[in-house]
Chain A
Amino acid sequence: MFQRTLFTQRKYRRETPGMAMAPMVDVLTILLVFLLKSFSMDPPVRPNDNTFTLARSTSSAQVQAATDVDITPAGIYVNGWRVASTSYYSTHDDALIQELYERLQQAGGGDVNLRVDASIPYGLVRKAIFSLRTAGVERLSMVAQARESL
């Protein structure tokens, strides 16, 4: 009797593949919304340098096109070109980063996006800002990773 009931229930169980698709559509919708929210056309900051990490910020302001000055543990770069050594200016007491100053002065100051590795101590950033303002930079933005980054 018991076995017969089990067999009867199994026999009349209906498969409904259409209904199993609904949660999958839900998951995909959530994934799509998440991807659209974190959608970014910003190019990678330093694609060949895996160790470079920007600090995080709650700011949501867009990064404007400007001269890029990168400070990484390996060196100081202007628009991707290495101009000075990080270790030298971290250990010496020079207030001005001469190479950075000269390069920016040649470029006529203008606007600068300063992209600094999260681990760089402020002593070096202070020297960079001093060099930029001495070179006549008019607008300075520090670039950070937005909180919405994946």
Chain B
Amino acid sequence: MKRLLPLRTQEADVRPVFMSIMALMFMLLPCLLLTTSLQKLAAVDIQLEYEGAATPPRDGSTIQELQVHVRGANILLRAAIRRTDLGAGPEDITWNETSIPPLETGPDLATLRDHLSAFHHLDPQRQRVTVLPGDDVPTSRVMAVLDAVRGSTRTPLFTQVTLASGSDAGPAPGTGE
């Protein structure tokens, strides 16, 4: 059967389309490079402890106090856990101390995260933690510990972080300092 119009067998030339995309990208790239900053900033909110607010209210929560002491590359985790046995009163607490030895590269933040995750499962309502770094600990390490304590966006741990300041930044118990 004879076609009314001849069948077009020649393929369309794609080069002009590619050229327009390339031109658009070459225009976008300098614009982005001019307006962008190499540094993206992020904020880490710190709770400020005022006089009289240093001790959290003794409610019915399992964990009454949670502290992360940083001394050099050593980390000491202290938790005041409310006793739940029948003879225990509301004020009876047990201090649980866990020392996390450092790795060759620095503090063992993965183990710290594991321990904190266990505490978070024990008392999911608790959001508050106090971080007590030593005076010689660099800020970069403090920030790494804060990240470990706060957890990730998928698995948040303790989001209300207090950094020790003033008289509450005493030496860590059991460290011999």
Contact = CB atoms under 8 A, between A and B. Distances in A.
**Highest count of chain A CB atoms <10 Å: which of B133, B166, B167:** B166
Contact residues on A (Cβ < 8 Å of other chain), bracket: 35 or more
B29 A32 contact: yes
B39 A18 contact: no
Chain B interface residue bracket vs A: 35 or more
A144 B143 contact: yes
A57 B167 CA distance: 27
A56 B140 contact: yes
B7 interface: no
Interface stretch (A7-15, A100-108, A114-122): A114-122
A125 B40 contact: no
A28 B29 contact: yes
B139 to A, nearest CB: 5
A42 B165 contact: no
B175 to A, nearest CB: 15
Interface string A42-69: 1111000000001111111111100000
B25 A28 contact: yes
A41 B44 contact: no
B163 A148 contact: no
Given A61-B44, A141-B44, A32 B25 contact: yes
Nearest to B35: A41
Interface string B33-48: 1011111111111101
